[in-house]
Amino acid sequence: MGKNIYSVITGTGSYIPTRCIKNEDFLTNEFYETNGKKLDKDNQEIIDKFLEITTIAERRYVTDQLTTSDISYFSAVEAIKSANINKEDLDYIIVAHNFGELKSDNKEVDIVPSIAARVKHKLEINNPETVAYDLPFGCPGWLQGVIQADYYIKSGDAKKVLIIGADILSRISDPHDRDSMLYADGAGATILEAKESDTPIGILAHKTRSDTFLYSKMLYMGKSYNPDNKNTFLKMNGRKLYQYALEHVPQAIKGALEKSNTPLSEIKKVLIHQANGKMDDAILKRLYSLYDIKDIPKDVMPMTISWLGNSSVATVPTLLDLILKGKMDSHKINAGDSIVFASVGAGMNINSVSYKMQ
């Protein structure tokens, strides 16, 4: 029996912004209801309830001089270094984001050239056959980039691919909307390489779904809740999104595991997008209930949301990087471990990848 080609993560990197924004920093915000009326609740009460629901105590924002391509580049440099590859050998650079090149003084859409093209320029890659493009796919964008890279590798079209997830949500969140406390900034990157093996390694299977017919407007761009603020910001239907994720994310994870013939009992870590800590707990519980497993393994789902907030496409690659580099205390991923990635976000899109560590 001959060896097969598999897509294996050989390097990771991340950029965690230096500005730490605590919940208390929102005490002076003026929050409004969706109907434009000012909230009559005390801000401390709002913040306490927010912490209880989401588990978010703080988040990270970029400093004013940095842009999306800057933080993408920082994470890319780390990933290339940890993979110990020549950057000129990259076949593709895929950058997942949702809002383009956001600057502190200009929040208009800026996606020409693409963020990937800017990153390739900053990396000083001369090779014209290193194809650079962007992938807007909501919060699951980075994971969808990994899935696309897997197709390139399996088809023989690529041997090395750089996939980045980066967003600066702090610049498109409405300061008059309580949901603004969810959002954070960051970037995470991975190198995916083709590896020969006579046993399955790396990406074993994946599952993606797009529920646009009923759910395309659960995340959208809209006016500030403050009638005097005429700018456009990210908006969310939080309650419906919670229910949608709870219903469909566990099924997507199960689908990827079944395609790879991986029992849930073999999964050492569930690396999931983190928009709400309590929601992820509920998703995990629902996942294990699909297998009639009542006792969920301790520490199977590493969480960063309490201190990093929701950094969109950067969440999962940043989480992976922190674990692999020993920065997540009790969490470790070892050779031979089976893990699963999952994400949900605007679209609405959901994806999952079943993965075996080399």
pLDDT digits (tens, 9 = 90+) for 340-351: 999 999 999 999
Whether cis (ω within 30° of 0) applies to the bond prior to 250 is: no
Give the confidence band of 233 by pLDDT, cuts at 50, 70, 90. very high
| Maximum distance among all Cα pairs of the chain, rounded to whole angstroms | 70
Q: How far apart are CA 220 and CA 347, in angstroms?
A: 9
> Where is 176: in which H helix or E strand?
none
What region, left, alpha or beta, does residue 303 occupy, with left being phi > 0 and alpha being psi -120 to 50 degrees? beta
Identify the pLDDT of residue 239. 86
Angle at 62 between CA 57 and CA 65, to 5 degrees: 160
Which CATH number fits the domain 4-197, given the four candidates 3.40.50.850, 3.90.1200.10, 3.40.47.10, 3.30.1340.30? 3.40.47.10
Q: How far apart are CA 294 and CA 267, in angstroms?
A: 15
pLDDT, mean of residues 100-122: 92
Query: In this model, does residue 1 exceed pLDDT 70?
Result: no
Identify the pLDDT of residue 304. 96
The model's pTM: 0.96
pLDDT, mean of residues 218-234: 92
Give the confidence band of 109 by pLDDT, cuts at 50, 70, 90. confident
pLDDT, mean of residues 110-115: 96
pLDDT, mean of residues 69-83: 98
Lowest mean pLDDT among 83-97, 100-114, 123-137: 100-114
Q: How far apart are CA 177 and CA 209, in angstroms?
A: 29
Measured in residues, the chain has a length of 358
Give φ, ψ of 146 to 5 degrees. -65, -40
Q: Which two tokens stand for residue 8?
A: 């294996």
pLDDT, mean of residues 295-311: 95
Asked if residue 69 lies in contact with residue 138, where contact means CB atoms within 8 angstroms, the answer is no
Do the domains 202-356 and 4-197 match in fold?
Answer: yes
Nearest to 46 by CA among 238, 181, 224: 181
pLDDT, mean of residues 103-122: 92
Class of the domain covering 202-356: alpha beta
Whether cis (ω within 30° of 0) applies to the bond prior to 279 is: no
**Per-residue pLDDT tens digits for 27-54:** 999 999 999 999 989 999 999 999 999 9
Identify the pLDDT of residue 22. 97
Name the percent of the chain lying above pLDDT 90. Answer: 94
Asked if residue 177 lies in contact with residue 235, where contact means CB atoms within 8 angstroms, the answer is yes
Nearest to 219 by CA among 246, 238, 247: 238
List, as one string, the DSSP characters of 94-163. EEE-SS-S-BTTB-S---SS-HHHHHHHHHT---TTSEEEEE--STTHHHHHHHHHHHHHHHTS-SEEEE
Query: Average pLDDT of the chain?
Result: 95
3 state SS of 318: helix
Identify the pLDDT of residue 205. 98
Identify the pLDDT of residue 2. 67
List of residues 6+ apart from 128 with CB closer than 8 A? none
Q: Which two tokens stand for residue 318?
A: 């940043």
Where are the chain's structural domains?
4-197, 202-356
